[in-house]
Each structure stands twice: as C-alpha cells, then as structure tokens.
A and B are shown apart, each in its own frame.
Chain A
C-alpha cells in the first residue's frame, strides 16, 4: 500500500465509548483507537511527543482527547520506519481555520524531510489522517505507507476528503496524486 483513503469508524462515538474528550479541532489519536477494548489499553505512536513539541513551537493548537489527569503511553517499534501519529482533523477546524490545518501538515512534512536527512537505503514513512466532514458527519481515513519523497500533497487530499463526502473512495498511486 502506498496511499489508501477509506471510510473510518465514527471517531466521536468511539471516543465517547472510551470516556475520552471529543475534539473540535486538530488532535492526535491513539494508534489502537479502533481495537482497544478500554481506555487503559490505548497507546500513542512513539512520535507523538515529538509532533506535539513541533506543533507547540509553531503555534498549532492541539485539542487533546485526554481528560485532565489521564496519560496515554506511547508504543515504540525499533525498526527504521518513521511512523507518524494518527491525526484527527475536525470539520469545524477545516471550515473555520484551514490555515491551521495547512500549518500543522506542513510541520509534519518538514519533520519527515529532516528525519531522513543523511540516510540512505530504504526510507519508509507511515502516516494516517482521519478527516471529519459535515453536515452528515462522516469520517474518512487516509493512510500513506511508502517513500517520504513520494508523499502526496496532504493538504489537498484532506480538503478533498472533507469537501466531497460522497465521492467514491479511491486508491491511487502517489504519482497520480501529486
């Protein structure tokens, strides 16, 4: 798989079931949000604290899902793949402040470029973004797993996923999407 866009679970419903906050803006979601049977099983990707630092430095506001006092640990896998956190983009933020979404995604892109600087051989990045669209409230999930240099224009994809909720789901090669 290089790039896949598919229907996602109802994120708000799932967060409610697990006793977590429902975000309105931009959030990081646990990697096992879909499969966890209880809140205590939730795990963030290992890159989550790094992404939070980068967003904070650039003034990107994260709408956290944890209740006060909650702490979700991270899961680290020591292979060479850079796995970025699962990102949630709320419908409200996309309509009210698309610049914030653009900035947040640019920060991710720049970090990925910097991370692979000076590395040779196989380079692999995995990232997932869930986009909420209204008024019917549906969720689509974008998953990219491939060469960081062939990564598609994420902002463009997020906008398409948000604007056209009835559009047929597509699986295309990154080259076609650039």
Chain B
C-alpha cells in the first residue's frame, strides 16, 4: 500500500509539472523530457497492479485511472511536438488519444475526475487548432460479441462496456457482424475514421492541411470526390 501511495504522489506531482508545458510556445526540449518522464512512470503502473490483491477492485481501478491520466498528458505533449514538426495528421491522432484516455480516466475511478477540466480543454483544442473534419460511420448488424473482461457472450455476464473492472476497461468485442452502410457524419464515435483527402478542381488535397497531394490525378474537374 505504501508503494501505491508513493506511486500516486509521483504521478500527481509529475502531471502537475507537466501542465505548465502543455502549450504550443513551450520549448520542445522540456516537452520531450516531460513526455519521457510520464512514459517511465507509466511503466511502473503494471508492476503496482500486480501488488494489488484481486479483490481490491477500487485500488486496481485507481491505478488504471493514474495510467490513463499519464497517457492523456503524454499524448497532449506529443500533439504539441507534432504540430511544431508540421505533422498535422499525427497531431490529430495524439489529440484523439488524449481525449480517449482522459475520458476513460474520468470513468475508471473518482481520482480521474480531476481530468474533467482537462477534457474540456482538449475539446476546445479540437475546435480551434483543427479545421472541421468529415468522418465516416458504419452501420452493422452484430450477430456475435464477447466481453473483453471474461470472454462470455456480451450481455450474459455482468460487465458493462466502458466501465472499469479490476483495473481494466470493459469492451464489447464484435466477432461476427455484417456491415450494412457507411455514412459521412460530423459527430462520429471514432474520430480516427476521417476523410483524409479530397479532390477539388482536379487537385487532390490533404483534407486536414489543405496541402496538394503529389500524385497523378486522372479525373475530370467535374468528377470530384473524397477519400479516406
């Protein structure tokens, strides 16, 4: 228990230091150092989880929240570094990973609730740092799915997807499905399923940066389209 308390303090202190670096104008060197520190501390979490007795679900979920909090900040720092290197697509992926980790931390344990403000900040960043995106969404008939915690058919056990159990987030693993439709939506479940390029006036452009894509486009100007 002392080891867990010490890890908790270490995580919270590091996150507090890291907050000061989560801005575009901060120098890349301390941002990289902080990211590396967060990753090193994150590596300690699985060892701590092993110390937790299987019946101590609350502590296991607290450790999961700490792990996700570290991941959220590391991904945000990665985003700033990617933006400085003009790697917009990587920055987008990092932002979405940061949002996912922060949301999961909030849901995993009450300790994670301290990230609610950070989640709001990440949402604002999405709106002001990146242009509006177009996303894809699928519609599918699910015939078989299992629970990631106990491997039972999903719905037959007592685990709820998105909730934390003994330090793990429950997912519904779809094992048999038929895709029926693919739609373009502006509010998807998965913000990684986005339009990557668009052809306008015969010029293919990166939909995120609007930079022309260097490739031959054998297309009529009137036959424009989008691709993922």
Q: Which residue numbers of A lie inside 8 Å of B, CB to CB?
A: 43, 46, 48-50, 52-54, 56-57, 73-81, 114-115, 117-122, 124
Contact = CB atoms under 8 A, between A and B. Distances in A.
B28 interface: no
A76 B103 contact: no
A77 B179 CA distance: 10
B188 A80 contact: yes
Interface residues of B, number: 42
Contact of B189 (A73, A79, A122): A79
B107 A75 contact: no
Contacts of B106: 117-118
Looking at chain B's contact residues, the main secondary structure is mixed
A41 to B, nearest CB: 10
Contact of B143 (A53, A73, A120): A73
Given A53-B158, A77-B139, A118-B105, 11 more contacts: A43-B141, A49-B154, A52-B155, A53-B155, A53-B157, A73-B142, A78-B189, A79-B187, A118-B116, A120-B123, A121-B187
Nearest to A118: B106
A161 to B, nearest CB: 28
A124 B155 contact: no
A81 B161 CA distance: 16
Contacts of A53: 155, 157-160
B51 interface: no
A121 B123 contact: yes
Interface string B109-149: 00010011001101100100000000001111111010000
B102 interface: yes
Nearest to A122: B187
A115 B141 contact: no
Nearest to A111: B160
B162 interface: yes
A163 to B, nearest CB: 33
A46 B154 CA distance: 11
A117 B115 CA distance: 11
A76 B142 contact: yes
B226 interface: no
B54 interface: no
Contacts of A122: 187
Interface in B152-194: 154-155, 157-163, 172, 174, 177, 180, 183, 185, 187-190, 193
A62 to B, nearest CB: 12
Contacts of B137: 77-79
B107 A124 contact: no
A103 to B, nearest CB: 17
Contact of A57 (B123, B126, B139, B158): B158
B189 A120 contact: no
A45 to B, nearest CB: 11
A140 to B, nearest CB: 28
B142 A118 contact: no
21 contacts: A50-B155, A50-B160, A50-B161, A53-B155, A53-B158, A73-B143, A74-B141, A75-B140, A75-B142, A76-B140, A76-B177, A77-B138, A79-B187, A79-B188, A115-B162, A117-B107, A118-B105, A118-B116, A120-B122, A120-B123, A124-B187
A120 B142 contact: no
Contacts of A77: 137-139
A74 B188 contact: no
